[in-house]
Amino acid sequence: MIETALTWGDLAFLAKGAGMTLAVTAISVAAGTVLGVICGVIRFQLGPYWSAPLTFVLDVFRSVPLLIQLVLGNAFQSIAKLGWPPFTTSCVVLSLYTAAYCTEIVRGGMSSVPVTTRRAARSLGMTWWQDMRYIVAPLATRVSLPAWIGLALSVMKDSALVLWLGLIELLRASQILVTRLQEPLLILMICGAIYFIISFPIARLGGYLEKRWSPND
């Protein structure tokens, strides 16, 4: 029988940390996706030449490690005297980080739609908006969904880096318990199990939608 000093209160502490992880992830993925869709459409419509300034900015967020972005973001908001709490700073930086990757996912999905299909839609009298809404968006979504699911899961795991700003999310909560109880193996196993419980339904949902849409391709 396993003997441990871990209590129900400690498990509740981990659950609270998991809630913080989910909150940061949900806000960042939602905001990053909206911004990524907008930037993706802009990149798709303008082409590589005219969207070069936007591409450069997005490349910065994709190239610089997320930890450095979080530290710099927190420093800049302090210099600018914005007074953001660590939660807001974390969400803003993670949203921009997510948007940088989501932009390329959206652009790639839209680029996968055959030009002949779009020309046929326009020849039937569809406007640009109708073409984008009824032709490009559904086809691009099917192509982009697996990559977007992967991005969402990646952001959830990368959100552990917000501990450097003082947020007590799941990984930070586990570190606090490890330091206090000196039972790293058990606590980290529980932490990993919680991450799995959070991630598995999202991954399965993506697989289900991909399988459901495939017969219509």
119 pLDDT higher than 90: no
Q: How confident is the model at residue 2 (pLDDT cuts 50, 70, 90)?
A: low
The pLDDT assigned to 131 comes to 86
How buried is 176 (Cβ within 10 angstroms: 0-12 exposed, 13-18 middle, 19+ buried)? middle
The pLDDT assigned to 181 comes to 85
Find out whether 95 and 28 touch, Cβ atoms under 8 Å.
yes
What mean pLDDT do residues 136-150 have? 88
Q: What angle do CA 85, 87, 92 make, to 5 degrees?
A: 100
Other beta carbons within 10 angstroms of residue 42's beta carbon come to: 15
Q: pLDDT for 176-207, tens place per residue?
A: 999 888 888 889 999 999 999 988 888 888 77
Q: pLDDT for 11-41, tens place per residue?
A: 899 999 999 999 999 999 999 999 999 999 9
How far is 14 from 207, CA to CA, in rounded Å? 29
129 pLDDT higher than 60: yes
The pLDDT assigned to 209 comes to 77
Residue with tokens 């502490």, as numbered in its chain: 13
What mean pLDDT do residues 99-115 have? 92
Which DSSP string corresponds to 153-202? HHHHHHGGGGGGGT---HHHHHHHHHHHH--HHHHHHHHHHHHHHHHHHH
How buried is 39 (Cβ within 10 angstroms: 0-12 exposed, 13-18 middle, 19+ buried)? buried
The pLDDT assigned to 214 comes to 66
Q: pLDDT for 72-89, tens place per residue?
A: 999 999 998 888 999 999
How far is 121 from 135, CA to CA, in rounded Å? 8
90 pLDDT higher than 90: yes
Orientation of helix 8-50 relative to helix 170-181, angle to 10°: 140
Mean pLDDT for all residues in the chain: 88
Which DSSP string corresponds to 100-129? HHHHHHHHHHHHTS-HHHHHHHHHTT--HH
Residue 141's H or E segment, with its range, is: helix 137-158
What mean pLDDT do residues 146-175 have? 90
Find out whether 109 and 149 touch, Cβ atoms under 8 Å.
no
Homologous superfamily in CATH for domain 24-168: MetI-like (1.10.3720.10)
Domain coordinates in residue numbering, the chain: 24-168
3-state secondary structure of 83: coil
- % of the chain with per-residue pLDDT over 70: 97
Cα–chain center distance at 4? 35
